[in-house]
Chain A
């Protein structure tokens, strides 16, 4: 049982939780994630460790409400507990001083990007962050990122904040302007696919962090498999980060839809149970 010590709504459907996790908080590094279960009928779902406090022995999770499990978590309050947390899972990001890094975050992908971007900055890189969201309400962690970013570009689909346009437009502006040594892309699969196409054109090394469907998170089931460079990889143990130019995004996008129908049934039932 892991107690929730703080909760904040970052936007209408994005919630930030600070959770007690004594062992995980000591061991985690940027890029790693946990698997949680809210209750004994719940799924095991993966969530990135957005931040950790070694002294208070807590980790921070940022969750976008998309279905039953994420909604269940968002409905928890300080004092409540998560039934299970296991981690830290996945390989930590390889943090290195390469020169200039563009950190690209789309939607809730901004949450996992946050600790990675900060680590790249702390090791001495010039850090440019490009954040994309559908509209102003859905943009998260802008203030927190601004604290350490050398430059911040915000793109919204509807132009309600920052510049109007897709995240790729913001990234291309930087690529045209100055040499970039590494791009990090985290967000919806479609976004990562188009960021990868763009950086490939400019020949900029790029890593993407993948959010496939998972069960155990320890390499035991293969639910999370993706094709990278023609080979099958398990995201939970071989990733979650891979060379963005080698990923078969179309296969991944299809696999993410495996349970579309069941997810809807589950969510409808859950929402009904709330009323």
Chain B
């Protein structure tokens, strides 16, 4: 998205901003050390599912906000996929108007409390902060984003933006992950009657069933949903579009525009011998049992899970990191990440890798499983792995792992979690005639408008991108809402 620097500079030239900027010199600001996020002690946090990052207090947040130089061309904004006015909200924190900071965030980001916690800031907004040029740690944009939105929520003072009225057009969002939630919020603000259909019994997609409580408390997700309900969004759970209800049925019910945000929920397995042994889980199943079904509170909750003592998690992304940290919390004595490239290539957020290490996770990098063996009952007891070397870079720019012949050895395990990625669920593409789909199962859209081959159907998030990030999914939802609005307006006048 192009950044509108003109608008930004007008905001920057407001009197209070000028005055605030001149209170401290750039040198004074840049000499302040980056704030540290207060965290629970590793030994305490692995006993339960409480949030690891405690959050900044007011003093720490204001101090950190002072580090931001309020740059005249803030490079950080280009690093944020939805182009949040970063100095804009940070200066409101420095001014101690925390609720205004939260409102500023909400102008561009419907879920700031979520993004402040789970965005890979180190490769997005913070990666482009001017501080890198000074060889210093970037402004902690994510921590500040979290701080402002938490303030608003804890104050119980969630602002409801003005809603346009007079538009009685019905639109539907399919799936309730971040892409659909953003789409729904934007459309509701423009006055549409929005219904979100979700297959599961709980809303919010990966935010509910995937990312664990210790990283994203579910109370935050619930409060975001409550906010959307206040905007008038209707949620229908237990509706599997394509099975319970088809697009045709919805058209008969009067829906005129559709947004598909059904995610990439299909687990990948490696198709190696022994993968169907008891105790070998997909990361989706492992995390769903724990997060959605609360298996960590079994037998208080009815859904069980295998409590492994020696757990190997295959993969190096956020999913793998979440799974291995869940394993530790379920009482694993040995919890391992088994990843075929080196730590440098791991796609997980750096903070999660760091947290996992603090919690005692062992990292077996440049290692790949080739076979599992089971005992007489069919329970996994060993895995055979091979060592990998790194070859030339592949298409993604990462070095390709190559097998080192004769390097196999075995590791004793009683639980394995396969977290090597997910594919789009084929249900929706399969049940809608005329949608264009790639060979990877993602839906083809016009990247400017998020419109599919069928004009009334738009799509975004992981169903379009394959596995990506929360903020990218949200950006898609927002773009789709804007262009669906234009599409429906034009249709009305024609």
Look across to chain A and name the residue whose beta carbon is closest to the beta carbon of B422. Answer: A220
Within 8 Å by CB of B293, from A215, A227, A259, A263, lies: A215
| Alpha-carbon distance between A254 and B276 when the two chains are bound, in angstroms | 10
How many interface residues does chain A have, given as a range? 35 or more
Provided the pairs A220-B425, A265-B299 are in contact, do residues A88 and B285 lie with their beta carbons within 8 angstroms? no
A179 near B: Cβ within 8 Å? no
A165 near B: Cβ within 8 Å? no
Q: Which residues of B contact A48 (CB under 8 A)?
A: none
Q: Could you tell me if A255 and B378 are in contact, using CB atoms closer than 8 angstroms?
A: yes
Q: Could you tell me if A259 and B304 are in contact, using CB atoms closer than 8 angstroms?
A: yes
Provided the pairs A218-B425, A220-B284 are in contact, do residues A89 and B237 lie with their beta carbons within 8 angstroms? no
A169 near B: Cβ within 8 Å? no
B275 near A: Cβ within 8 Å? yes
| Alpha-carbon distance between A220 and B294 when the two chains are bound, in angstroms | 17
B7 near A: Cβ within 8 Å? no
B266 near A: Cβ within 8 Å? yes
Q: Could you tell me if B288 and A258 are in contact, using CB atoms closer than 8 angstroms?
A: no
Q: Could you tell me if B304 and A266 are in contact, using CB atoms closer than 8 angstroms?
A: yes
* Chain A contacts with B in 56-94, Cβ cutoff 8 A: 68-69, 83-89
A245 near B: Cβ within 8 Å? no
Provided the pairs A44-B293, A86-B238, A87-B243 are in contact, do residues A222 and B304 lie with their beta carbons within 8 angstroms? no
B 25-65 binary contact with A (CB < 8 Å = 1; else 0): 00000000000000000000000000000000000000000
A216 near B: Cβ within 8 Å? yes
Q: Which residues of B contact A265 (CB under 8 A)?
A: 299
* Chain A contacts with B in 207-234, Cβ cutoff 8 A: 215-216, 218-223, 225-227, 232
Q: Could you tell me if A24 and B244 are in contact, using CB atoms closer than 8 angstroms?
A: yes
Look across to chain A and name the residue whose beta carbon is closest to the beta carbon of B265. Answer: A220
Q: Could you tell me if B245 and A23 are in contact, using CB atoms closer than 8 angstroms?
A: yes
Q: Could you tell me if B201 and A221 are in contact, using CB atoms closer than 8 angstroms?
A: no
Q: Which residues of B contact A263 (CB under 8 A)?
A: 304
A 244-260 binary contact with B (CB < 8 Å = 1; else 0): 00000001001101110
Q: Which residues of A contact B425 (CB under 8 A)?
A: 218-220
* Chain B contacts with A in 352-377, Cβ cutoff 8 A: 377
B439 near A: Cβ within 8 Å? no
Q: Could you tell me if A219 and B276 are in contact, using CB atoms closer than 8 angstroms?
A: no
| Alpha-carbon distance between A86 and B237 when the two chains are bound, in angstroms | 9
B5 near A: Cβ within 8 Å? no
Within 8 Å by CB of A221, from B199, B282, B378, lies: B282
| Alpha-carbon distance between A269 and B278 when the two chains are bound, in angstroms | 24
| CB<8 Å pairs between A and B, sample of 19 | A44-B303, A83-B201, A86-B199, A87-B243, A215-B285, A215-B288, A215-B289, A216-B200, A218-B265, A219-B427, A221-B285, A221-B288, A222-B267, A223-B281, A232-B275, A255-B276, A255-B378, A258-B306, A263-B304
- 10 new A-B contacts, CB < 8 A, other than A41-B294, A84-B201, are A27-B243, A27-B244, A44-B293, A85-B238, A218-B265, A219-B265, A219-B426, A220-B425, A262-B299, A266-B298
Name B's A-contacting residues (CB within 8 A). 199-201, 237-240, 243-245, 265-267, 269, 271, 275-276, 278-279, 281-282, 284-285, 288-289, 293-294, 298-304, 306, 377-378, 425-427
